[in-house]
Amino acid sequence: MDETTDNTTKNNSPPTDSSTDEDPAEDQNRSNSTRNKGVVSDSRNKKTDREGNNQTVEIDAAETGRDRSSPRFDFDNVLNEGENENKGLFDDLLAGEPIFENKEVLRPSYTPHELPHRTDQINQMATILVSALRGETPSNILIYGKTGTGKTASAKFVSQELESTSQKYDVPCEVQYINCEVTDTQYRVLAQLANKFIEKNKNAIDNRLSELKSLIEQVTETDIDVETSLSETQFTTVSGIESRIEELESDTAEMEPVPMTGWPTDRVYTTFFEAVDYSERVVVIMLDEIDKLVEKSGDDTLYNLSRMNSELKNSRISIMGISNDLKFTDFLDPRVKSSLGEEEIVFPPYDATQLRDILQHRADVAFKNDALTSDVIPLCAAFAAQEHGDARRALDLLRTAGELAERGQADTVTEAHVRQAQDKIELDRVVEVVRTLPTQSKIVLFSIILLEKNGVHNVNTGEVFNIYKRICNELEADVLTQRRVTDLISELDMLGIVNAVVVSKGRYGRTKEISLSVPIDETEAVLLSDSRLGDIETVQPFVQARFDN
């Protein structure tokens, strides 16, 4: 048992068998009462949370029959009273053996130190970027691969290594990471880069200023003549140092950060250009999700960045673009395309065996010993391999399975937890997709749900359209044409929410048979949580529409 559990057991007695059989509502009351008692004992809480807690004090004191005027509440007594009475909200949850040793390791934000099955790609990147450590410009790199294939993790790993080696050998080389899903316009990309370099320049200037100021102090305080004491520096006189200080102070005063909006783009570009060229360095600009930038604001940013080297005097820049859309370069200007794709590295999807290795490495750190039954990792790997070999999905599954086991106070994570986790993740995805659908699609989906709920399966477009019209009238929403509704059904099909198959009806032509591919009750609940659709209360009459028309 680890230290945390030990302490918990010492301070709060573990639940006895009898306590676990008790009425949960009663337990809750008791835990509330314990919490309220805690409030009574802590005078600081009374000050910060006065109104509500004073109320609590009165009830509590009356219930317990204790003297309210007593200067200190006997808190220890509360803890040591009957063990069942004092079970707080978290006691039960803490009582079980923890399953995780370090759950953070399974989160997407964690950058692993080891990336199994990516050695080739990492070495390829390193071979290209090593030029930066020699003061030369590395070729631009484009990294492709489906989601969750380790592109970002590998690129970040290589960047960290590059920066730490550059510090070791004192070579000025930096990597700037930009997530283009968030920073998706030329203005924002350039502004973010400009501000980063302005900040770096200002820091470097501050350091240099303090060096120069202490140099002046040393020179003026010593008896040795100025020339000798400055012999190892670039200066010969104190006034020389002073004018350098003035120069640096005026440089830093001129470095004005770019506001988030409002400047003309060419001014932002010039500010970035001057900031990056202020000192000698090689800069690798890592543009993650580069396709999103091109999709949102064209290829101007890439064009401007890729032609900068011909004008920069002191610095050099190189671009590393990361994309999971293999086709995005089709939309680029040919010059940008050839400059950006000087080197291309492909990240293939992981297979189940590779995913197993990746999961095992993480699980060794994330979970306590023997917390996983032997089939957990292979099953997570198999599920994720089915979904285009996505390591993110595999890690999510493993973490969610662990959390479900922890919530159920199980001692080990089992295959059943993985299956539950798979369902939960799938449901979360559906909920998210349905929640963010446009209102018209929601109405179409709601029509399909209504038909299914009333026992009408494999509905056709006409039937959906009839119900749809009725709901629109009820909601006072615009009614789209049947053709548009058919398009919306196709979109729902592409999102995996419904399954629409075209069937031939002989001489009556062809029609679509539509069925729901997601859990009906949960989907309905998400739809009804939309304030517009929530108004529909009398659902039953609508189904008649199928037969009315």
Residue 151 CB, nearest distance to ligand ATP (Å)? 3
Tell me whether residue 399 or residue 512 sits nearer to ligand ATP (CB atom). 399
DSSP state of 549: -
Q: Which is nearer to ligand ATP, 410 or 495 (CB)?
A: 495
- b/e map 109-125, b = 16+ CB within 10 Å: ebebeebbbbeebbebb
Nearer to ligand ATP by C-beta: 116 or 138? 116
- The alpha-carbon radius of gyration of the chain (Å, integer) is 33
What is d(CA 497, CA 478) in angstroms, rounded to the nearest whole number?
Answer: 23
Q: What is the DSSP letter of 423?
A: H
Collect all residues with Cβ–Cβ distance below 8 Å to 487 and sequence separation of at least 6: none
Report how far apart, in Å, the C-alpha atoms of 401 and of each of 69, 398, 460 are. Answer: 51, 5, 39
Closest by Cα among 311, 531, 341 to 442: 531
Binding residues vs ligand ATP (CB under 6 A): 108, 112, 115-118, 145, 147-153, 324, 358, 391-392, 395
In the bound complex, which residue of the shown chain has the CB atom lying closest to ligand ATP?
150
- Shortest distance, position 431 Cβ to ligand ATP, whole Å: 20
* Residue among 157 and 272 whose Cβ is closer to ligand ATP: 157
Query: 350 a known binding residue?
Result: yes
Q: Which CB sits closer to ligand ATP, 345 or 516?
A: 345
115 vs 141 by CB, closer to ligand ATP: 115
Q: How far is the CB of 326 from ligand ATP (least distance, A)?
A: 12
Smaller CB distance to ligand ATP: residue 56 or 152?
A: 152
- 343-347 and 281-288 strand pairing: unpaired
Tell me the DSSP string of 312-373: -SSEEEEEEEEES-TTGGGGS-HHHHHHHTTEEEEEPPP-HHHHHHHHHHHHHHHB-TT-B-
Nearest approach, Cβ of residue 347 and ligand ATP (Å): 6
Q: Does the annotation place 153 within a ligand binding site?
A: yes
**Shortest CA distance to 229 belongs to which of 219, 216, 214?**
219
Nearest distance in Å: CB 346, ligand ATP: 11
CA 141/CA 355 separation, integer angstroms: 26
* Pairing state between β 141-145 and 173-179: unpaired
* Complex with ligand ATP: residue 209 or 382, whichever CB lies closer: 382
H-run or E-run covering 6: helix 3-11
159 close to 127: Cβ distance less than 8 angstroms: no
306-324 residues labelled b (16+ CB within 10 A) or e (exposed): bebeeeeeebbbbbbbbbb
Rounded distance, CA 412 to CA 267, Å? Answer: 59
**Measured from the CB of residue 358, what is the shortest distance to ligand ATP in angstroms?**
4
Minimum Å gap between C-beta 423 and ligand ATP is 21
Toward ligand ATP, which CB reaches closer, 12 or 152? 152
> Least CB distance from residue 226 to ligand ATP, whole Å?
57
Q: At closest approach, how far in Å is the CB of 344 from ligand ATP?
A: 15
Residue 150 assigned ligand-binding role? yes
In angstroms, the CA 548 to CA 542 distance is 10
Least separation in angstroms between CB 150 and ligand ATP: 3
* Cα gap 342→141, rounded to integer Å: 6
Q: Who contacts 255 (Cβ-Cβ below 8 Å, separation ≥6)?
A: 198, 201, 202, 275
Least Å from the CB of residue 129 to ligand ATP: 17
- In eight-state DSSP terms, residue 481 is P
Between 12 and 324, CB nearer to ligand ATP: 324
Was 134 annotated as part of a binding site? no
Name the residue nearer to ligand ATP (CB basis): 112 or 516. 112
* Exposure class string for 150-174: b at 16+ Cβ within 10 A, else e: bbbbbbbbbbeebeebbeeeebbbb
Instruction: Give CA–CA dist 468/464, Å, rounded.
Output: 6
Annotated binding-site residues read 149-153, 350, 362
Annotated binding-site residues for ATP read 149-153, 350, 362
